Structure 1
Amino acid sequence: MITPCPAITPEDVAVPWTLPFRPSRRSLLAGAAGAAGAALLTGCSGGSSPEEEAGISLERRMREAAVRDSERLLERYDATRAAHPALAERLAPLRAAVAAHAAALSPTAAGSPTPSPAAPSGAVEAAAPTASAEPVPPKPAEALTALAAAERKLSETRISDLDGAPGELARLLASVAACGAVHAHLLTSNPGAAS
């Protein structure tokens, strides 16, 4: 046999009424101060946003590094031309393009780079070449191959830099990388193709 449930009266279920929890003004102010402190510790500073500051300095650092790379490549061109004067005419337009790249990539470039003028056909610049990191191979064909390898390596570096570059700089790096790949091809093709 089933026994019926005993009747429950409101007095049996009554829970004493208490005030809901209300934080004090002091705890609210302490929480707000803690949140403000956390925001400051995450990198907020000055009057501009962290994204703006990081974007400007990142682009400047990337441009400065790209200019240094172009200047090292110019040194290689100069060393190769000094070691093999017969290659001066063939290398002159490529060297001028690399100089224009350095000017365009400069952080101070105002949109219209001023490339160094190309040497006239057959002329060798009077300036003494700077010491290159790697010696120029003794044979002209090997020197061209080494210069092409330097162009190809720099082109690959510029392509890998595209990932973190801001929009306009990324487009410029892509263009300069493509030009470097063409230079590498021209340096290893027959002499008539490079003129």
Structure 2
Amino acid sequence: MPWTLPVRPSRRSLLAGAAGAAGAALLTGCTGDGAASGADTGVPLERRMREGAVRDSARLLERYDATAAAHPGLSERLAPLRAAVAAHATALAFAEPAGGGRSPSASASAPAPAPSGASAAARDAVAPQPAEALSALADAERSLSQARTIALAGAPGELARMLASVAACGAVHAYLLTSNSGAAS
């Protein structure tokens, strides 16, 4: 039976996500001196946040690749989720514009390891049972989603909107990875 997406998330999951976003906004603090933390690095905040988000996405892609390599039977199920994570990395990346300065661009190329690019160490870290491997991958998606939700409170406008979308997508991925429809046998 082919795996299909649920029609829509439950009201409980939407309320939990909204509560999490509100809580993250309340938990972020001020530096007290009016300066943004890390402002003395000379690198603009948005650029640092984007580069960190791309690195996080690249690590998540490695986990997808390692899971697919360790459990080839899961490859078809993981492929659309992995593709979305790669698209997120691309959307979050900075591109070098023609003028020489750096600016965000949705058409930027981001590191997206090839599906066979999982390192030996990453493959060894994958749980031996497919269901456990999916659960671990869901935990990684959930953790990154929560981190991005917290980070969006300090992000500049457009980046905050993008982080919110990517965090929501990660939460959906975690749900899909742990749902019974299409579950590994």
TM over 0.5: yes
Shift of 1:192: 3.3
Structure 1 pair 65/134, CA: closer, same or farther in 2 (3 Å)? farther
Q: Point out where structure 2 has 5 or more consecutive residues left out of the alignment.
A: 1-39, 96-103
- Give the aligned partner of residue 145 of structure 1: 135
Query: Equivalent residue for 1:42?
Result: none
- After superposition, where does 1:98-137 map in structure 2 within 5 Å? 98-108=85-95, 109-112=104-107, 125=115, 127-130=116-119, 131-132=121-122, 135-137=125-127
For residue 165 of structure 1, the aligned residue among 155, 162, 167 is: 155
Corresponding residue pairs, total = 136
Give the alignment's Cα RMSD to 1 decimal: 2.9
Question: Structure 1: which amino acid aligns with 2:60?
Answer: L
Residue equivalent to 2:146: 156
The corresponding residue for 2:65 is 78
Q: Is the 8 A contact 1:55 1:166 kept in 2?
A: no
Equivalence for 2:46: 59
Letter in 2 for 1:93: P
Shift of 1:82: 0.5
Bigger RCO (CA 8 Å, 6+ sep): 2
Partner of 1:190: 180
- Uncovered stretches (5+) of structure 1, i.e. residues with no partner: 1-52, 120-124
- Given that 2:148 and 2:167 are in contact with CA atoms closer than 8 Å, whether structure 1 keeps it comes out as yes
Q: Identify the residue that residue 68 of structure 1 maps to in structure 2.
A: 55
Query: Given the superposition, is the C-alpha separation of residues 116 and 62 from structure 1 closer, same or farther in structure 2, using an over 3 Å criterion?
Result: closer
Q: Percent identity?
A: 67
TM-score by length of 1: 0.62
CA distance in 2, matches of 1:114, 1:91: 22
* Equivalent AA in structure 1 for residue 118 of structure 2: P
Using the TM superposition, give the Cα deviation of residue 128 of structure 1 relative to its aligned residue in structure 2, in angstroms. 3.7
